[in-house]
Each structure stands twice: as structure tokens, then as C-alpha cells.
Amino acid sequence: MRSISRRAALSALAFSTLTGAAGLAAAADWPSKPITLIVPFAAGGTNDILARIVGQKLSTQLGVPVVVDNRAGAGGTLGAGIAARATPDGNTFLMAAIAHAVAPALYKSLPYDFGRDFDPIGLIGTTPNVLIVNPSVPAKTVPELIAYAKANPGKLNYGSAGPGSTEHLAGELFRAITKTDITHVPYKGGAPMMADLLVGNIQMALETSPSASPHIKANKVRALAVTSAARSPIFPDLPPLAQAGVPGYEMTTWFALMAPHNTPAAVQERMQKELRTVLANPEVKTRFAEQGVTAGNMTPAEVRSFVQRETQRWGDSLRSAGVKPE
């Protein structure tokens, strides 16, 4: 029995050594062709904006093109499903977002398991959302908006990038706390949603800072508050919702780079290193700051724990708000 156990142990060691050597060899040759960065929302939204900033720098550092591939649909789950099924060779990554931590509470079934099918590379960044309304809405403050919504039940439509998107979550939380009758209108991304808001087809949104900022500065929409616990550096004049008539409200949108599970460990470690370099780049920090985004600073293990906490938190919040899976 001892000899069998010893042979088994030696076989396992040999397999581990060969696997490790193969992984190192893969890392040494990687990358040898363009890398695809799947963005699971339409072009022009915050996820897309940040992916292109990061992808450009990664391309320079890695010496190969980093191609942003927009796969919008189903609140970000369509693109995530495509990424989960991709060959785990280091040539495909996913620009994940808070929507993917929330999806299990919104959908009865998903084409992937976010915790099982992806390995975290790093947190890209975080940003508050901004409560904005079309200028046709008479409200100038949050209390006025709440009063208007209660006086006109069912007449205010709020847009989102799709079920489970950050705008959807923010809107549902607002509706639940304020007890207002507002209607969710989902789109395939933040950009088409914003286009409809600008022309008045919908009346309000709780949009991410990078997508909302240009339209706020151009006075095309009216900003009333931010969703973070404290004031945002990019919108210092806007109060947090929690201090403007929506007690207990707090939400921060986040974005993370993920690899399909079983991507070689050595490749993941190389990408983790390259991403840290990108996020520490002064130019990237400046561009993020201009968008109201704080660059991420988490280890892969910390990202995994963070996502697990977010999944639990939003699942509990949505169930409390009476939101049922579709």
C-alpha cells in the first residue's frame, strides 16, 4: 500500500510539475496575438469608456492589440456568457461590472456561474451614479422630484442599461426607499438610454458619472444628487441622496477585469501585473478623475471576496424591495 501511495504522490507531483511548466511556457509566449476584451454593454457607456482607456494602455505594454468587443444584451449577462465559454488561453477577458454580482437575484437562470466561471484579475475602478432628469421635469431638487412623482404616479419613467444594470439597481433602490410609482425602461446599454433621456422619451435616470457628466456640463440634463455616501469630487455641488431626502441611500458602481476560469495562472499573474501598472499610470488616473472614477486597488483575492459580498448585499436588497427574478 505504501508503494502505491508513494507512486500516486509522485505521479501527482509530476503532473503538477508538468502543468506548471506548461503554464510558464504559455506565459512566456503570451501574448502572441490580439486580445479580446468583451464589454457586455453598448458602446459609449461607462463600461465601454473605461475598457477603451485601459485597453489602450494594455496594448502598448503588451505589444499586441487589445480589441474591445461590445456584446450588449440581457443586462450584461449575454456578454458574460460569451466570455465564460471562451477558450481560457489568455486571449479573452471580460470587463465585468456590478451588474454581474446582481444578476443571480434578477434572473431565474444564467448561462454561467459568475463565481465559478471567472477568475478576477483586478478592480478597474469605482464611481457614483448621478440622479439626472430631463429639463422638462419641473423638479429642481430631490424632495421636489419625490413630490412630483407622488403627485403623478406612473408618469415618470427611469431608464437603465438593462435589467440588473447599475442604473436599474439605483432606480429600484430609489423607488423602494421613496415609495414612489416610477417605471423602469430597460435598454441595451447606457448610451441608447441616454439618447432617449435627452429627447424626453424617458424622464429620469440614475446614470454613472462618466456617461452623465458631458450632458450635465452641456446643460442637456439637470443633475439633482449623487448616489455615494459623500459628495463626489467631480460634482461637489450635488448632495448625496441620503442627505437630500432619501435616507439610507448609498450605491457605488464598480468595474473589474475578469479572465475565464482555467486561464493559465502564469498568464493571469502577468495580466494582474500589467493592470496594476496601467492603473498607477498618472495619465490614466487623470482621465479617470475627469470621468469621476477612482482607480481600483485590490488584489485578485480581495476582488473575489468583494464580489461575493456585493452579490449577497444586492440579493438581500432586491428581495427586500420586492424585486423578483425574471
Sequential DSSP letters for 223-241: EEEESSSS-BTTBTTSPBG
Question: What is the torsional sign of CA 158, 159, 163, 167?
Answer: negative
Quickly tell me which residue has 502577468 as its cell.
Answer: 270
86: how many CB neighbours lie within 10 A of its CB? 17
91 and 138 inside one domain: no
Look at residue 108 and tell me if it is in a domain.
yes
E strand or H helix at 290? helix 282-290
* Angle between the N-to-C axes of helices 265-280 and 2-29, in degrees from 0 to 180, rounded to the nearest 10: 40
Q: Which helix (H) or strand (E) holds 115?
A: helix 114-117
Amino acid letter, residue 260: P
Residue with cell 469608456: 49
Residues 144 and 181 in one domain: yes
Domain end call among 225, 243, 261: 243
Predicted local confidence at residue 292, as pLDDT:
85
Residue 155 has a CB neighbour count (10 Å cut-off) of 12
Same domain? For 45 and 112 the reply is yes
Work out the number of other CB atoms within 10 angstroms of the CB of residue 297. 12
Model's pTM, two decimal places?
0.82
Q: Structurally, how many domains does the chain consist of?
A: 2
Is residue 239 reached through a cis peptide bond, with omega within 30 degrees of 0 on the bond before it? no
In a domain, 52, yes or no: yes
Beta strands 182-186; 156-160: pairing state: parallel
CA dist., res. 85 & res. 296, Å (int):
26
CATH of the domain at 162: 3.40.190.10
> How far from 196 is each of 9, 201, 293, 320, CA to CA, in Å?
63, 5, 24, 30
Helix (H, G, I), strand (E, B) or coil at 10: helix
Q: Which of 213, 243, 273 is the last residue of a domain?
A: 243
What is d(CA 103, CA 106) in angstroms, rounded to the nearest whole number?
Answer: 5
| pLDDT at residue number 259 | 98
Count CB neighbours of 11 within 10 A: 10
Spatial contact of 57 and 117, defined as CB atoms under 8 Å apart: no
What cell numbers appear for 144 in the block? 421636489
Q: Which domain holds residue 197?
A: 128-243
Residue 317 CB partners (closer than 8 Å, separation 6+):
173
DSSP 45: S
Each residue's pLDDT, cut to its tens digit, for the chain (326 residues) gives 444 455 555 555 554 454 454 555 556 789 999 999 999 998 988 899 999 999 999 999 999 999 999 999 888 999 999 999 999 999 999 999 999 999 998 888 999 999 999 999 999 999 999 999 999 999 999 999 999 999 999 999 999 988 878 898 899 889 989 999 999 999 988 889 999 999 999 999 999 988 898 999 999 999 999 999 899 888 999 999 999 999 999 898 999 999 999 999 999 999 999 999 999 999 999 999 888 899 999 999 999 999 999 999 888 887 877 777 66
pLDDT at 305: 97
Q: Check residue 19 and give its pLDDT.
A: 46
* Together in a domain, 121 and 144: no
Q: What is the rounded distance in angstroms from the CA atom of residue 323 to the CA atom of residue 326?
A: 9
Whether residues 208 and 296 share a domain: the answer is no
Terminal alpha carbon distance of the chain? 55
Domain boundary among 183, 211, 243: 243
Taking phi over 0 as left and psi of -120 to 50 as alpha, with beta for the rest, 99 belongs to alpha
Instruction: Please give the torsion angle defined by the CA atoms of residues 296, 92, 188 and 109, in that order, rounded to the nearest 10 degrees.
Output: -100
206 in the same domain as 300? no
Round to whole Å and give the CA distance between 201 and 194: 10
